A and B are shown apart, each in its own frame.
Chain A
Amino acid sequence: MDKRAVNLKNCVLVAALLPLVFLVVRSYLGELTANPIEYVSQATGWWTLCFLSITLAITPIRKLFKFQWIFPLRRLFGLIAFFYACVHLATWVVLDQFFDFESMLLDIKDRPYITIGMSAFVITSILAYTSRKSIRLALGPQRWVHIHRLIYVIAILGVTHFYLIVKRDTTEPLVFAAIIAVLLAARFIARQKK
């Protein structure tokens, strides 16, 4: 890999960790409202969905603008999304539920938004695992691409999860839904043209 690509990746990695750094700093400053656990839960979920959307945008951007240099970032953004999903899940298990397994199982069973979030997380883990080069080679390009189309399923589950949480003001989840719909459509149109 050439040096510029490595530098780019490092920059992206540092930038992508900033939201988490800010979250930690602000929690020390007591700026995360009276209910910091809820705040962290929402912030990490929001960033997970954000990085998922960015990951989805890489291929359309590369094709549309012929930005070949952007391509190596696809896996990186995907892994960053996975990283935020792990922090998001850990927030729930450790801070919110404090390892109360009975409550967590009941939540997975009774609360559709948790069931859906959990499903999204499981699929995300599979994609993170199979993103390794050795596994990609072992699977062969075609099967690998098929499996990794599941990212659309993750995005749709993620938006649905968000939509189900908000009580009345559905603006934000609908904005994410619109972004993801556009990215999906771009993909589809590009394929038709080929």
Chain B
Amino acid sequence: MKYLIPKIKENEVTSRDLFENRREWLKMMGALSLGSTIAPATLWAAAGRKLGPLEKSLYSTTEEATAFKDVTRYNNFYEFGTGKEDPVKFADSLKTDGWKISVGGEVAKPTVFDMDQLLKKFPLEERIYRLRCVEAWSMVIPWVGFPLHKLIRAVQPTGSAKYVEFVTLHDPEQMPGQRSPILEWPYREGLRLDEALHPLTILSVGVFGEVLPNQNGAPIRLVVPWKYGFKSAKSIVQINLTETQPKTAWNLANSREYGFYSNVNPAVNHPRWSQRKERRIGEFRKRETLPFNGYGEWVASLYSGMDLEKFF
């Protein structure tokens, strides 16, 4: 399969302040050139540091981004508690410096990367994506990251690689939520290899032009915009290419409600939340939920011939 990966080089960073003031932003558009700043070698740093320069992506939506304060305080990240505002309160205990991510399994070149190596190797882009949570709310988030396929190609998958598994850090000292058995820790997620190689699938290291805050899955997380949010594993330490379908956290917890695919699908009924509609955070009236979260034109072909009510 071949994908067109659109690219526009621009020396722009879309920063948090700009997003908070959309009109200003539109006015300034042409003239804008925020000097983006840190040399790659010292790039990796605490949350809040500016990332750049960023390439813009044609995959970005033009919809208005959700407010920074909502994106960074309303989170499902059970490693820090089950309340929506637990992660922003408690994620300080996560230590991201010296973070390593090992990529292995069915690959010719298993590699352990540190964050600086990743950022040197893979240029960062801004990807403004819709995020649809299975709990029937949604956001628009300007992620900063790079396509996962670049990383996977770099480690050279073998012929028997069919799936990709993502594993979150397992350390109850740093992630106190892991002391309670609400999920089987560590959090694990998985994609089919073609889903993982799809150009929409990214590894994200930032939001709003800044290093990811801990509560958003620092320092590196998956973003798969056409699937429910829980598929996008956070604070990843390990990526494995596998021959068999990996076990995934929510599917292990409740396989009737959370399938392996978990593509956003208004037609698949869920016993807790109607998936027909969603509330965009910051808005009052609900809006219709779109199949594949509106990314059908790019991803529907991955599933041609599959009964998506069965493989939900």
Contact = CB atoms under 8 A, between A and B. Distances in A.
Contacts of A113: 271-272
A130 B183 CA distance: 45
Interface stretch (B49-57, B70-78, B141-149, B238-246): B70-78
Interface residues on A, range: 20 to 34
B24 to A, nearest CB: 22
Given A103-B277, A169-B182, A110 B284 contact: no
B82 interface: yes
Nearest to A172: B82
B286 A165 contact: no
A18 to B, nearest CB: 22
B137 A165 contact: no
Interface in B256-286: 269, 271-274, 276-277, 279, 281-282, 284-286
Interface string B41-85: 000000000000000000000000011011001100010001011
A33 B272 contact: no
A35 interface: yes
A129 interface: no
B271 A103 contact: no
A132 B85 CA distance: 43
Contacts of B69: 34
B34 interface: no
B274 A37 contact: no
A14 interface: no
B82 A111 contact: no
B84 A33 contact: yes
A34 B88 CA distance: 12
A111 B274 contact: yes
Interface in A83-137: 95, 97-98, 100, 103, 106-107, 110-113
Given A35-B281, A38-B137, A168-B183, A103 B276 contact: yes
Interface residues of B, number: 29
A97 B276 CA distance: 12
User: Which of B70, B74, B253, B274 has the most chain A CB within a 10 Å cutoff?
Assistant: B274
B271 A112 contact: yes
Given A34-B73, A98-B286, A168-B82, A106 B274 contact: yes
Contacts of B269: 110
B257 to A, nearest CB: 9
B274 A110 contact: yes
A168 B84 contact: no
Nearest to A168: B182
A167 B183 CA distance: 10
A151 interface: no
A164 interface: yes
A78 B180 CA distance: 36
Contact of A103 (B84, B274, B284): B274
Nearest to B277: A103
Given A98-B286, A103-B276, A34 B271 contact: no
Contacts of A37: 279, 284
User: Which of A98, A167, A168 has the most chain B CB within a 10 Å cutoff?
Assistant: A167
B201 to A, nearest CB: 25
A96 B220 CA distance: 34
Contacts of B84: 33-35
Nearest to A38: B137
Interface of B: 66-67, 69-70, 73-74, 78, 82, 84-85, 135, 137, 180, 182-183, 253, 269, 271-274, 276-277, 279, 281-282, 284-286
Interface of A: 33-35, 37-38, 95, 97-98, 100, 103, 106-107, 110-113, 164-165, 167-169
13 contacts: A34-B66, A34-B70, A34-B73, A34-B74, A34-B84, A35-B74, A35-B137, A38-B137, A98-B285, A103-B277, A111-B271, A111-B273, A168-B253
Q: Which 10 A-B pairs have the closest CB atoms?
A: A34-B74, A34-B70, A168-B182, A169-B82, A34-B281, A169-B182, A33-B84, A110-B269, A98-B285, A33-B74
